[in-house]
Amino acid sequence: MDRLSGLDASFLYLETPAQLMHVCGVIVIDPSTMPQGYSFDAVLAGIDEQVRDVAAFTRKVRRVPMGLDHPIWVQDKQFDIERHVHRLALPSPGGYKELISLTSHLAGLPLDRSRPLWEMWVIEGYDDGKIAIFSKMHHATVDGVSGSNLISHLCSLDPESAPLALEAGGSHGRDVGKRELFGRALVTKLALPVQVAKIVGPTAEGVARTVSRARQGTAMAAPLTAPRTSFNGTITGHRSIALTDMDLEVVRSIKSATGTTVNDVVLAVSGGALRSYLEERGELPTTSLVACVPVSVRELSRRAKGANKVSSLFTKLGTDIEDPLERLQQMSHDNRNAKEHHQAISADSLQDWAEFAAPRTFGLAVRAYAGLRLAEKHPVVQNLVISNVPGPPIPLFFMGGQITALYPLGPVFHGSGLNVTVMSNNGELHVGVIACRESMPDAEALVRRFPEELARLRDAVTALEATATQISSARSTRAKKPRARTTEK
């Protein structure tokens, strides 16, 4: 029997018609590299061949009687690829505007829980002959890293090679009878007090370390201290999507020149873009926006099972700082503290406590929270979620077609109706922005500022280097200048 972890199951419980818990992606493909040319039937058959024996693609959720325990995964014995891979064509002229309009609509549609929790839409007629793949995978089945890996393993290193072998996506769990399922659920319930006793101690230690760091001024940004913005309220099921690109080499050059990290640069650029967006709308808060940044703990976790192995840290984005270089330096300092603070907390803390999420109670609480619009009545937990997911450093081919762009899109939540996800791919950084449409009707107004802010930061670093060079040159000249001799009498 393959039981969902508490964290995986929590994403099912969090889901409502407005708060959809799937992660999406827009993959742009150049079909001219396909050895036999593009054919939807060939793409469909190729995907079917690769996913049919992989549990992550062919298992579905089965609920436990009376909601006594988290659901289990069972094999979908009626798996049909045509229920998961669909075909669409963009209306003329088939450009970027038409693509984001269509994908925004698709992102607002829930997945069918009676089937494996994923879909792909093959979108033809984009950008003078390109193909776009819009993918949706429920967060109960993948996190950022595992979702990226699943997509990558459907790809190959050249047009004519077979797709890379998929890693084991977990075995198909044994489909047990109701009586056994009920009995196992009771045993799990009885064991909960023992589990609580095991994690209370480490949690208390983590809280004590957090309090100590807060007193020393070295703690990460605190949740519930974020200023309120127009995208921090109750969300609807409508989505707004926007996409853009940044040059990874420019980001790396800034990183090297300033002694920061790629993640520091991405967060600083995000802060600058958000500052510019809010300032233009007359909504810029006097204090900095706070972002929740998911962190993979896959290599640190003691848990062998579970699709989601993540934790999170909170960081200020420096939206109260106008100078881009000063913002980056502040981000670097704050992120070092946040990382040290995060490392002092158990990697499995979030997963451990998620085990106690009661299916019925959790679901009712989420619906009550949305119905009463409580997100607008308490302090803002965080303004948005920002993820930075490592992608392939080399060209990849999806069913023979070269991937020219790969834009990730995460979920949005009540109280935090904006998600920014960045993924590297073959020398580029692809930025995907998704928001509640009522909170941010035009996500393009935000995303177009990312390349602009990166250019501002690059120019500021270039000016700093030029000044340093002039000072060094002047010192060198003075050192080489001959000194006047004096004679003693």
Mean pLDDT of 202-214: 66
Contact criterion met (CB below 8 Å) for 450 and 270: yes
For residue 100, what is the domain's CATH number?
Answer: 3.30.559.10
What confidence score (pLDDT) does residue 312 get?
A: 87
Mean pLDDT of 311-338: 94
Tell me whether residue 486 is in a domain: no
pLDDT in tens, 434-467: 999 999 999 999 999 999 999 999 999 999 888 8
- Mean pLDDT estimate for the chain: 87
- Between 196 and 12, the more confident residue is 12
Rg over CA atoms, the chain: 25
Give yes or no for residue 390 having a pLDDT over 50: yes
Q: Which residues are known catalytic residues?
A: 139
Domain stops at, among 123, 157, 178: 178
Angstrom distance (rounded) from CA 288 to CA 293 = 15
Contact criterion met (CB below 8 Å) for 369 and 375: yes
- The answer to whether residues 281 and 335 belong to one domain is yes
What confidence score (pLDDT) does residue 168 get?
A: 44
401-409: strand order across its sheet: 85-89, 118-126, 130-138, 22-30, 401-409, 397-398, 155-156
First and final C-alpha spacing in the chain: 102
- Exposure class string for 55-81: b at 16+ Cβ within 10 A, else e: bbbbbbbbebeebbbbbbbbbbeebeb
pLDDT in tens, 354-371: 777 777 788 888 999 999
- The answer to whether residues 350 and 223 belong to one domain is yes
Tell me whether residue 206 is in a domain: no
- The answer to whether residues 158 and 265 belong to one domain is no
- The answer to whether residues 241 and 380 belong to one domain is yes
Tell me whether residue 187 is in a domain: no
Q: Range with the lowest mean pLDDT among 18-22, 182-186, 266-270? A: 182-186
Contact criterion met (CB below 8 Å) for 42 and 149: no
Angstrom distance (rounded) from CA 301 to CA 296 = 9
Q: DSSP string spanning 238-297? A: -EEEEEEEEEHHHHHHHHHHHT--HHHHHHHHHHHHHHHHHHHTT---SS--EEEEEEE-
Give yes or no for residue 487 having a pLDDT over 60: no
Q: What is the dihedral of CA 154, 157, 161, 163, to 10 degrees?
A: -10
Give yes or no for residue 489 having a pLDDT over 50: no
What confidence score (pLDDT) does residue 166 get?
A: 54
- Please tell me whether residue 25 adopts helix, strand or coil conformation: strand
- The answer to whether residues 382 and 233 belong to one domain is yes
- The answer to whether residues 33 and 150 belong to one domain is yes
Number of domains in the chain: 2
What confidence score (pLDDT) does residue 466 get?
A: 85
pLDDT in tens, 97-127: 999 999 999 999 999 999 999 999 999 999 9
Tell me whether residue 346 is in a domain: yes
What confidence score (pLDDT) does residue 3 get?
A: 86
- The answer to whether residues 90 and 147 belong to one domain is yes
Angle subtended by helix axes 449-480 and 248-258, to nearest 10:
40
- Residue 252 C-beta-side C-alpha neighbours within 13 Å: 7
Angstrom distance (rounded) from CA 366 to CA 369 = 5
Contact criterion met (CB below 8 Å) for 68 and 183: no
Q: Range with the lowest mean pLDDT among 17-26, 43-52, 58-67, 147-156? A: 147-156
pLDDT in tens, 222-238: 899 999 999 999 999 99
Give residue 54's domain range: 2-178
Q: Which uninterrupted H or E stretch holds 97?
A: helix 96-107
> Which token pair is 186?
């009771």
pLDDT in tens, 272-318: 999 999 999 999 999 999 999 998 776 666 666 777 777 889 999 99
Domain stops at, among 149, 178, 207: 178
- The answer to whether residues 257 and 138 belong to one domain is no
Give yes or no for residue 169 having a pLDDT over 50: no
Tell me whether residue 90 is in a domain: yes
Ranges of beta strands (E only) in 51-204 are: 59-62, 72-75, 85-89, 118-126, 130-138, 155-156
Question: Closest Cα to residue 241, out of 87, 440, 11, 423?
Answer: 440
Angstrom distance (rounded) from CA 96 to CA 48 = 29
What confidence score (pLDDT) does residue 173 get?
A: 63
Tell me whether residue 189 is in a domain: no
What confidence score (pLDDT) does residue 368 get?
A: 92
Tell me whether residue 125 is in a domain: yes
> Which token pair is 245?
């690109």
- The answer to whether residues 145 and 257 belong to one domain is no
Counting beta carbons within 10 angstroms of the beta carbon of residue 253, is it exposed (0 to 12), middle (13 to 18) or buried (19 or more)?
middle
Give yes or no for residue 82 having a pLDDT over 90: yes
- The answer to whether residues 121 and 251 belong to one domain is no
Top-ranked range on mean pLDDT: pick from 20-29, 55-64, 206-215: 20-29
Percent of the chain with pLDDT over 70: 85
pLDDT in tens, 473-484: 677 767 666 665
> How far from the centroid of its chain's Cα atoms is residue 141's Cα?
14
- The answer to whether residues 265 and 155 belong to one domain is no
Give yes or no for residue 196 having a pLDDT over 70: no
322 pLDDT band, cuts 50/70/90, is very high
What confidence score (pLDDT) does residue 484 get?
A: 55
Backbone torsions φ then ψ of 298, nearest 5 degrees: -60, -40
Query: Which alpha helices (H) appear in 372-443, and where do they start and end?
Result: none
How many Cβ atoms from other residues are within 10 Å of residue 415's Cβ?
24
What confidence score (pLDDT) does residue 165 get?
A: 60
What confidence score (pLDDT) does residue 150 get?
A: 79
For residue 371, what is the domain's CATH number?
Answer: 3.30.559.30
Tell me whether residue 210 is in a domain: no
- The answer to whether residues 41 and 156 belong to one domain is yes
